[in-house]
Chains A and B, each alone.
Chain A
Amino acid sequence: MMSNPVLKIEGLRKSFTANRRTVHALNGVSLVLHRSETLGIIGESGSGKSTLGRIAVGLDTPTAGELHIEGMRIDTLPPPVRREKLRQCQMIFQDPYSSLNPRLTVGRQIGEGLFARGERDWQAINMTVANLLERVGLKREFAERYPHEFSGGQRQRIAVARALAPNPQIVVADEPVSALDVSIQAQILDLLADLKKDGNLSYLFISHDMAVVARLCDRIAVMHRGRIVECGPVRAVIENPQHPYTRNLLDAVPRFGRRRTGQKPVPVRLPQHSDGDTFMTVAEGHTVLQSAGSL
């Protein structure tokens, strides 16, 4: 089951140039996403995690590196073929408000994905849409309504249905619950977990929230300044963090039973990684980026 990666990323780099300043968002990121696996990408703002997600679905193009979907290298394909292949990758966005078209009925915007796949019979499309709505826990009749008639949680369910419409292998979810109230978060996380059970869906789950990642992901990759600094099974990374940054991140998560004293913690010196740094295997599947100078 784990032998067949649906998504493989090799040495991905991305730099943006704005106002004559170049920002390196990704400094050589490599990862694999196996079939029916959830890989969490965790990091803070500026870590490059969102850029990684956007490149994985084709909304951004990498400066360098390779992108393989189901064993086929796609970043070198001509655009029309690439677009066709990238339909295997769909995305769920963070903001359930701006991610739905306010002027199209819910059914129409989910159905558009089926239309684009070549389905022309709107009666059949509507049938599939209704089934999709049911799958994400909404009523079939909701297809007739407009986005503003729904709550944030319901909207995110609609966004999930829309992402599933083209029947993707990979769903990239970029902070899909961080704009929602906690009680609603739990429902959406349950939904995402459920959807994976009856399909061979794989998730690339991007989040800043350690608890959410712990809830949903099989493996996690910790990103810091455009690099993956640690990667491994979720429990291994959380319970036995190796990289100083991972430890920092875990320590900062608010928890019960601890009181803040106002004492300033001793600042941790984070290693400055360079391109030559290599990963060290801590345990099976658990790797951590080593600084060349730190050993």
Chain B
Amino acid sequence: MSTTTEISVWSRRPPFSVVLGLALATFIIAASLLSHYLAPFDPTRMAAGPRLAAPSGEHLFGTDEFGRDLLSRVLVGGRLSLGIGITAVVSGLAIGGLMGLIAAFSGRFVEAVLLRLIDVLYSFPDTLIALALVAFLGPGIENATLAIAISLVPFYARVTYGLAAAERAKPYIEAAKLAGIRSGRLVRVHVMPNIGQSLIVMGTLGFSSAILSAAGLSFLGLGVQPPSPEWGAILASGRNYINKAPWILIFPGVAICLTVLSFNLIGDSLRDLVDPRRKGRS
């Protein structure tokens, strides 16, 4: 056998896409967190300027149909969008991850039942699940977040199950089982450290889809309710003025695009980094 000198994936410097993704994400997160300080106006204050005013020195992004400052609305809306995204991803990952782990480590019967259930749920598009749930629970920010979280569960359950099942067959897990280590501890001590990274990557990738879902639901009037400035909600209210005041749609639209783009860039590169196929052994 020949020696292959182990070369780190990012041996020299991280690729441009990661740098761009990280820079964008940092900017977006920072802007959202500091939105209350950065926003020049109260985002819900009507007639902060003239109605449907084009971008100018005073209103950088222009104003909407009620004369609210669009820059302030996009900034504060980002906080809402990111908040919904993070909450939904964390809870979806927690529930789905738990389901996947239980399926992989609780014996054949539980495994078969849970997997069929996950498969059935997974066969519906996640947006459809979210939509149906909100229709059932009623509109509103909490219900929308919950619905998005649940819609992510089948995806995360499947991903986690796949990772855990691959791990389960490895000799070191078998050796740990032979030593008599019980399932709970086996998962916590031996399995989680090995699949955690991949799960975080999947979380990053799911985040952008959660943001899109949140915007979609709000756009349909099922998510964040007016006058709260969520990105999707701003798009929804501005769509009647697309000819007269396109900026109402352009700015929140661009914000959504950039956010989704940045997290996808980060997620894809992270995935390359933790991809087990690229972890060669020397």
- A residues bordering B, Cβ < 8 Å? 57-59, 83-84, 86-87, 89-91, 93, 95, 97-104, 108-109, 112-113, 115-117, 159, 162-163, 165-166
Contact = CB atoms under 8 A, between A and B. Distances in A.
Given A57-B178, A86-B178, A101-B176, 9 more contacts: A87-B178, A91-B178, A93-B171, A104-B190, A109-B176, A113-B180, A116-B182, A159-B175, A162-B175
B189 A162 contact: no
Contact of B172 (A89, A100, A115): A100
B170 interface: yes
B280 to A, nearest CB: 11
Contact of A103 (B177, B178, B181, B194): B194
Contacts of A93: 171, 174-175
A97 B175 contact: no
A59 B189 contact: no
Contacts of A100: 172
Contacts of B179: 87, 90, 112-113, 116-117, 162, 165-166
Contacts of B180: 83-84, 87, 113, 116-117, 166
Q: Closest 9 CB pairs between A and B?
A: A113-B179, A99-B171, A103-B193, A116-B180, A93-B171, A101-B172, A116-B181, A87-B180, A98-B171
B4 to A, nearest CB: 14
Interface string B157-189: 000000000000011111111111110010001
B83 to A, nearest CB: 32
B72 to A, nearest CB: 46
Contacts of B175: 90-91, 93, 99, 159, 162-163
A43 to B, nearest CB: 20
A84 B179 CA distance: 9
Nearest to A100: B172
B116 interface: no
A98 B172 contact: yes
Nearest to A54: B174
B281 interface: yes
A95 B171 CA distance: 8
A98 B176 CA distance: 13
Contact of A91 (B174, B189, B193): B174
Interface of B: 170-182, 185, 189-190, 193-194, 281
A104 B173 CA distance: 12
A33 to B, nearest CB: 17
B174 A59 contact: yes
Nearest to A97: B281
14 contacts: A98-B171, A99-B171, A101-B190, A101-B194, A104-B189, A108-B189, A109-B172, A109-B176, A112-B179, A113-B181, A115-B181, A117-B179, A159-B175, A166-B179
Given A83-B180, A91-B178, A98 B189 contact: no
A91 B176 CA distance: 10
Nearest to B174: A59
Contact of A59 (B172, B178, B181): B178
A59 B170 CA distance: 12
A148 to B, nearest CB: 8
Contacts of B170: 98
A116 to B, nearest CB: 4
A194 to B, nearest CB: 21
Nearest to A113: B179
Given A97-B281, A103-B193, A112 B171 contact: no
Contacts of B181: 112-113, 115-116
A99 B178 CA distance: 12
A103 B171 CA distance: 14
B53 to A, nearest CB: 57
Nearest to A79: B107
A201 to B, nearest CB: 15
B177 A112 contact: no
Contacts of B185: 112, 115-116
Contacts of A99: 171-172, 175
B108 to A, nearest CB: 11
Nearest to B169: A98
A89 B171 contact: no
Contacts of B190: 101, 104, 112
